[in-house]
Structure 1
């Protein structure tokens, strides 16, 4: 098919009357649904992650995004955290490398049977 055939097959604007308004409403509805189900939850999750990292303190048990379990030994001024993974073994990580989800699931008490 060429462009001439496609343009001849397309309905004319005067023939359907309000089709442009319906198309505009449909497109607007799609944007609202995308915002509700995709963008809003991600911004909410990012806000909770930032709050979690800002509220960390020395002695908190954490899990990094790499899956390393440890305890916060010291909070540094340059957005890094000194983490103790075993007695006498520490390393420095970025605050953003701490996973909120795994840390919270690790801190929940085990379900009793």
Structure 2
């Protein structure tokens, strides 16, 4: 699936995946293959959880991490979905062989 791009200079991050859109901070980021792959990994996660449950689990995981680490950045980087996306974002062929619910294996690394 080809992503639909939106540009928002007010975005607090360089990019964000909200199915079916990848929102970018600026147009030049469209050519950043690693960044786009990271967001496409989030698309797969969102689709396998039927979109809304993904956002609920994402937020719950962030809040639990925030209590655990008492730090926004540590909480964010330890979200299971982010761990998978960051781990594989530079593997541009990852999505061709990714297993369903692959993010679950990162729960073991969180404990």
TM-score (norm: length of structure 1): 0.24
Structure number with larger C-alpha Rg: 1
**RCO higher in 1 or 2 (8 Å CA, sep ≥ 6)?**
2
Structure that is richer in helix per residue: 2
Structure that is richer in strand per residue: 1
